[in-house]
Amino acid sequence: MTTSTHSDDHSEPEISSTPAHPGGHGDHTDHGGGAMGGHGDHTDHGGGAMGGHGGHGGHDKHEGHSPEMFRDRLAFSVVLTVPILYFSTQIQDWFGYTAVSFTGSGLISPVMATLLYFYAGSVFLKGARRELADRLPGMMTLISVAITVAYFYSVAVSLGLDGKPFYWELATLLDVMLLGHWMEMRSVQSASRALEDLAAMVPDIAHRVGDDGSIEDVAVSSLAAGVRILVRPGEQVPADGVIVEGSSSMNEAFLTGESRPVYRTVGDEVIAGAVNGDGALTVEISRTGDATTLSQIMRLVEEAQNSRSRFQALADRAAYWLTIIAIGVSAPTFLAWLVFGGGGITFAVARTVTVLVIACPHALGLAIPLVNMNATAVSARNGILVRNREAFERGRNIEFVAFDKTGTLTEGRFVVTSVATDGLTPDEALAEAAALERASEHPLAQAVLDAAEEAGVDALGAEEVSAVPGYGVEGSVDGRRLRIGRPEWLAEMEIIPGPAISEALAAADRRGESAVVLLTERKALAVIVMADKVRDSARSAIARLRELGVTPVMITGDAEAVAAAVAEDLGLSRYHARVLPQDKARIVQELKGEGPTAFVGDGINDAPALLAADLGVAIGAGTNVAIESADLVLVNDDPADVVKALVLSRATHRKMVENLAWATGYNTVAIPLAAGVLYGVGFVLSPAVGALFMSLSTVIVSVNAMMLRKVDLGDDSEREEREATVPALSVSGRPR
Dihedral sign from CA coordinates of 628, 630, 632, 634: negative
Catalytic residue status for 427: no
Helix (H) or strand (E) holding 568: helix 560-570
**CB-CB contact of 574 with 597 (8 Å):** no
Helix axes 293-306, 581-594, angle to 10 degrees: 30
Helix (H) or strand (E) holding 649: helix 640-665
Alpha carbons 456 and 450: distance in angstroms, whole number: 10
Which one of 278, 404, 638, 641 is the catalytic residue? 404
In this structure, are strands 480-485 and 275-276 parallel, antiparallel, or unpaired? unpaired
Task: Single out the residue of 19, 3, 5, 31 nearest to residue 446, CA to CA.
Answer: 19
**CB-CB contact of 143 with 124 (8 Å):** yes
Sheet containing 514-519, strands listed edge to edge, beginning at the edge strand earlier in sequence: 410-421, 524-534, 514-519, 480-485, 472-477, 462-468
Residue 260 in 3-state DSSP? coil
**CB-CB contact of 358 with 694 (8 Å):** yes
Strand partners, 515: 529
DSSP string computed for 114-180: HHIIIIITHHHHHHHHHHHHTT---HHHHHHHHHHHHHHHHHHHHTT-SS---HHHHHHHHHHHHHH
Helix axes 687-706, 667-675, angle to 10 degrees: 170
**CB-CB contact of 92 with 98 (8 Å):** yes
Alpha carbons 430 and 437: distance in angstroms, whole number: 10
DSSP string computed for 680-709: GGT----HHHHHHHHHHHHHHHHHHHHGGG
Alpha carbons 494 and 482: distance in angstroms, whole number: 16
Alpha carbons 404 and 381: distance in angstroms, whole number: 25
Strands (E), 450-492: 462-468, 472-477, 480-485
Helix axes 344-358, 314-336, angle to 10 degrees: 170
Task: Single out the residue of 675, 678, 667, 687 nearest to residue 335, CA to CA.
Answer: 675
According to DSSP H, which parts of 396-498 are helical? 426-437, 443-455, 488-492
**Residue 552 DSSP one-character state:** E
CA distances from 640 to 97, 634, 636 (A): 56, 9, 10
Sheet containing 275-276, strands listed edge to edge, beginning at the edge strand earlier in sequence: 262-264, 248-251, 275-276
Residue 312 in 3-state DSSP? coil
Alpha carbons 633 and 537: distance in angstroms, whole number: 16
Task: Single out the residue of 357, 327, 355 nearest to residue 677, CA to CA.
Answer: 355
Alpha carbons 65 and 428: distance in angstroms, whole number: 67
Task: Single out the residue of 727, 618, 603 nearest to residue 254, CA to CA.
Answer: 603
Q: Which residues are catalytic?
A: 404
